[in-house]
A and B are shown apart, each in its own frame.
Chain A
Amino acid sequence: DVKVTQSSRYLVKRTGEKVFLECVQDMDHENMFWYRQDPGLGLRLIYFSYDVKMKEKGDIPEGYSVSREKKERFSLILESASTNQTSMYLCASSPGGGLKTQYFGPGTRLLVL
């Protein structure tokens, strides 16, 4: 069974804080993704990575950065958290080649005060 884990289920931070969200997958997947999910807006892609140390911007990268130093770990960084970054953050991974089904973590609900 593919397992994608996220470091926290719930997180409360203050405006201006630097926030790290961690994601780990155990299936040796090449691709990893960070989404945010907001009511009425669905899932929007923030960043994705198709290999170690490689990253590509998604649809809404502003205010975020990512790090992928190891294949199994993909970190999302909020450099200076703002209230409009309050959201549900979902990490996903998928194998390279083939059918590209994505496997999701349980999500991190972030509240920025």
Chain B
Amino acid sequence: SQQGEEDPQALSIQEGENATMNCSYKTSINNLQWYRQNSGRGLVHLILIRSNEREKHSGRLRVTLDTSKKSSSLLITASRAADTASYFCATDKGTGNQFYFGTGTSLTVIP
């Protein structure tokens, strides 16, 4: 059974707009991570947020975590065409070594 489920499945926006993706999970976690995958490539780690954190920033990325709702969101501000990719959330299984990955949100940024 999958932990992370991203929403929406696909998102298309104009360059310069903000993009928001959501992730919901089922059981308690130690941390949650977001990854990006460009078409046909491996995943690249973007940001990690611990269960005792509520918000984290990295450049144009802002991640929030609400453990009471078992959900997280990834906001990309001032999007660029180069942000076009699939974005995945990953939640740990409690052991810290393994993660559940969701099915991802496909983001298209139109120049």
Identify the A interface with B (CB < 8 A).
4, 31, 33, 35, 40-43, 45, 48, 50, 58, 90, 92, 94, 99-107, 109
Contacts of B103 on A, CB cut-off 8 Å? 40-42
What is the CA–CA distance of A100 and B31 in the complex, to the nearest angstrom?
Answer: 10
Partner of A50, one of B2, B43, B97: B97
Contacts of A48 on B, CB cut-off 8 Å? 97-98
Q: Is the CB of A43 within 8 A of B42?
A: no
Main secondary structure of the interface of B (DSSP, over half): strand
Q: Is the CB of B97 within 8 A of A104?
A: no
A-B contacts, 20 listed (Cβ < 8 Å): A31-B97, A40-B103, A42-B88, A42-B103, A42-B104, A43-B43, A45-B98, A48-B97, A48-B98, A50-B97, A90-B42, A90-B43, A92-B42, A99-B31, A100-B96, A101-B33, A102-B43, A102-B90, A103-B45, A107-B42
A56 CB to nearest chain B CB (Å)? 8
Q: Is the CB of B43 within 8 A of A42?
A: no
B40 at the interface (CB under 8 A from A): yes
Main secondary structure of the interface of A (DSSP, over half): strand
Q: Is the CB of A42 within 8 A of B102?
A: yes
B48 at the interface (CB under 8 A from A): yes
* A40-B103, A100-B92 as given contacts; A105 in contact with B42, CB under 8 Å: yes
Contacts of B33 on A, CB cut-off 8 Å? 101-102
Partner of A102, one of B2, B40, B45, B102: B45
B65 CB to nearest chain A CB (Å)? 15
Q: Is the CB of A42 within 8 A of B42?
A: no
Nearest CB in chain A to that of B44: its residue: A104
B69 at the interface (CB under 8 A from A): no
